[in-house]
Structure 1
Amino acid sequence: LDTVTVNDTKFKSVIFLLTRLPNHGDAHLWISISFCFVYVISIVGNSVILFIIKTDSSLHKPMYIFLYMLATTNLGILITTMTTILGIYLFISRDISLDACLAQLFFIHVLHCIESSVLLLMAFDRFIAIYNPLRYTSILILPRIAKMGLVAVVRATVIILPLPFLLKRFQYCGNNVLSHSYCVMKMACSDISVNSIYGLFAKLLTMGLDSLLIFLSYMMILKKVLNTVSQAECLRALNTCVSHLCAVLLFYTPEIGLSVIHRFGRRSSPFLQILLGYISLLVPPLINPIVYSLKSKHLRVRIIRGLGQGVRVWVPGGS
């Protein structure tokens, strides 16, 4: 079944059909295995990060608390998309109702906005640590960090909340086959100019503003570091930013690519759009735990020690 014809007056009965990667029928088994592998590794990696930071009091510091927020957001994105992406590839479960689609759309956008805010907070953390290290612990106290996280959640929710209601009032008719295996709404028959304007406004107010502030913070960090007399101190300061810069590039590069393609690349390959969509959803949760574990010696030691203790517990006769 490739299309669903619906009566324009019965909006609540609208059913959408999710799709897999086009023109890859022979490779769907391997694609399914790859997606399962990505989800398992991502969920385990982020869960380990959360467990180690929560249980180890020596990691209850601003940098690791922000990393805890990032891992939580990544887990949320994985859980939100896992049911439809794995459902269509493993069980050929294609149909999704309008309400379920709007709910998934809402949570994907909210979590993306929260992740953008967390990356901004992590940039602020690095800025304070390098620009004014003597006041670092007095500025980034735990109650203030909690308030920052709460503001990030509230901001994302308030900005994204109108979108599902705006989409709900539209008419959906004719071919209701979505172009992705998760909800991306472009199927309305009505005039969607208001939604397009609001969507662009929301994007600029969240990810656009956050990326600009992250860029400015790193310009000031770079200025401070270049004025450092010692080359060793300069390299050490920059090395503390590598993990965060990787996370920023992994998050914003596919997001910017998708925004450009959706607005200016109407003739671009559908496969490229779908691929960038998967990258934006699945690659950051997969790579972030690996990068932070490799670059943070303190965190890496705690993870290895925790895994070693777990192995000794499960090995017969272990002490």
Structure 2
Amino acid sequence: MNITNLDDPELQAIAERLRSADATVRRIAVLSLGDLADEAHTPLLVAALRDDAPAVRAAAALALETMENQTAIEGLAVALDDADAQVREAAAHSLAELKDPASAAWLLPHAGAGPARVRAAVLRALRELRVPASAGPALAVLHEAHAAPDATDAIALRREAIGVLGYLKHAPALPALAGLAVSDPVDEVRRVAVGALAFATADADARNALEAALRDASWQVREEAATALGKLQQPAAAAALRAALDDPYWQVRLRAARSLGRLRNTESVAPLLAALDHGISNLRKEAALALGEIGDAAALPALERAAHDPDPEVRKSARLAIAQIGPEHGPVRDPAHGA
């Protein structure tokens, strides 16, 4: 490796260490270059990505996280397929740190072809950049036939493609996302697909898919569906969310209560009042907050009782709900705290 400007004594010392036969010394030299954060040193760090020692390659990949130029991004994209997992993870991390949307032009060629793990890492980086051009390769992933759809790399690829499409709110992807939300063989893929559907505020098919996901075998998928239905702001979803208040998992009930509050559906008051007596305090808190958002005065007697709940967060939520329903009722005095 050569450093062009050897007038600087610090660079002279780094240059000497980069030529060392000791991998530890070379690694420290790479770290020193990274600390300088000078884009002029990008070729040296990219060259270090080909070092014989995995630790040196990983250090170089991490040092490149601040270098937003084509040389750095192309080098990191190649490192995504390194034989060493630590190097791959470091390269993926650095690409995910990209902030300039212009970097997408160098990433996009790697999103549509190549090993699944490489494409997944590239799509993860593109997701943060929110560049419309990334929708094409992401949507193509959802239409691909995978020989082993439950393989680790294939799962990661579908998950990251879904993330790109959800971030972009890409309407043409809705049919594919709805299909994955109810039929993908992997729980985690169904969960992220459900979450991505939350942007489809006027789409009845998306709502139908989310309501179906409320009956999924995985409680994490049902939990995500209950959250997404609230974000859709479609009143027709209230009935399915009320049914979810009887879910065996309190985490699903909690999200359903929160979403019912967002929908402000008065038919939901009675089941939310029942949730005020649940043994899990977090669910009681969410039920109280939802009742406040709905604003039905019929909830006041139960909220008055909840304002003396043993849990301080439930008491606080009940008092806030009472204030929302009608200022004349005011925050209820908490005898345990004198306010």
Q: Structure 1-normalised TM-score?
A: 0.20
Structure number, greater radius of gyration: 2
More helix, by proportion = 1
Q: Structure 2-normalised TM-score?
A: 0.19
